[in-house]
Chain A
Amino acid sequence: EAAVTQSPRNKVAVTGGKVTLSCNQTNNHNNMYWYRQDTGHGLRLIHYSYGAGSTEKGDIPDGYKASRPSQENFSLILELATPSQTSVYFCASGDRLGNTQYFGPGTRLLVL
């Protein structure tokens, strides 16, 4: 079974602060993804990556940056956090053919 871990699991940040959410996968998957889940919107794609050094914009990239320094790690960066970015963030990995995506446990972010 695929293994995707996220850290931290919970985070409280202040408006205007910098937040980095980390994701690690041990599946040797090429592709990784960041989604956010909000009531009334389901899960929405923020950024994704096809491999180390690659980042692509998803459907709602504004206010977020991503970094993929290695096959295993994919970070989501909020340079200037805002209360509207309060959400649950999920990371996922998948193979390059677009087969099954495996999700991490999620990170709850509260921006005050």
Chain B
Amino acid sequence: GDKVKQSPSALSLQEGTNSALRCNFSIAATTVQWFLQNPRGSLINLFYLVPGTKENGRLKSAFDSKESYSTLHIRDAQLEDSGTYFCAAGGNYAQGLTFGLGTRVSVFP
């Protein structure tokens, strides 16, 4: 968790609101992946990023390798968005990912 720091550690959102999660890297990340771990424990791929931005429905993510951070924006939060969001940094040689400790998101009506 020290090499990839996620903030906040937990977040409570009302349905319909927006929020942002952040990852800061103290290692040289060339790629970033974002995952949602659902209550059953499965890791769902959300985004794979090289420096730049991507959008998928109500989710948008950005990765700035020079400033060593990545963000995940949730727009119009829904109950099914609840779970733990992980970011993970990838290096140059496909040697595996370095994960943050996650942000636990709870969406309430």
Tell me which of B1, B35, B94 contacts A94 (CB under 8 A): B94
With a CB–CB cut-off of 8 A, which chain B residues contact A41? 1, 101
- Tell me which of A40, A56, A95, A103 has the highest count of chain B C-beta atoms within 10 A of its own C-beta: A103
Q: Are B96 and A45 in contact (CB under 8 A)?
A: yes
| A1 to B, closest residue via Cβ | B45
| B96 to A, closest residue via Cβ | A45
| B87 to A, closest residue via Cβ | A42
Bound Cα distance from A108 to B88, whole angstroms: 22
List of 5 A-B pairs having minimum Cβ-Cβ separation, nearest first: A98-B94, A45-B96, A100-B48, A42-B99, A103-B43
With a CB–CB cut-off of 8 A, which chain B residues contact A56? 95
- Size band of the B side of the interface? 20 to 34
A110, chain B: closest CB distance, angstroms: 15
B43, chain A: closest CB distance, angstroms: 4
Bound Cα distance from A99 to B90, whole angstroms: 9
With a CB–CB cut-off of 8 A, which chain B residues contact A103? 35, 42-43, 45
Contacts from A to B (Cβ < 8 Å): 31, 33, 35, 40-45, 48, 50, 56, 58-59, 88, 90, 94-103, 105-106
- Chain A CB within 8 A of B83 CB: no
B71, chain A: closest CB distance, angstroms: 18
Q: Are A42 and B101 in contact (CB under 8 A)?
A: yes
Q: Are A33 and B102 in contact (CB under 8 A)?
A: no
- Chain A CB within 8 A of B92 CB: yes
With a CB–CB cut-off of 8 A, which chain A residues contact B42? 103, 105-106
User: With A42-B99, A42-B100, A42-B102 known to touch, is A31 a contact of B41 (CB < 8 Å)?
Assistant: no
- Chain A CB within 8 A of B82 CB: no
User: With A100-B48, A102-B45 known to touch, is A40 a contact of B101 (CB < 8 Å)?
Assistant: yes
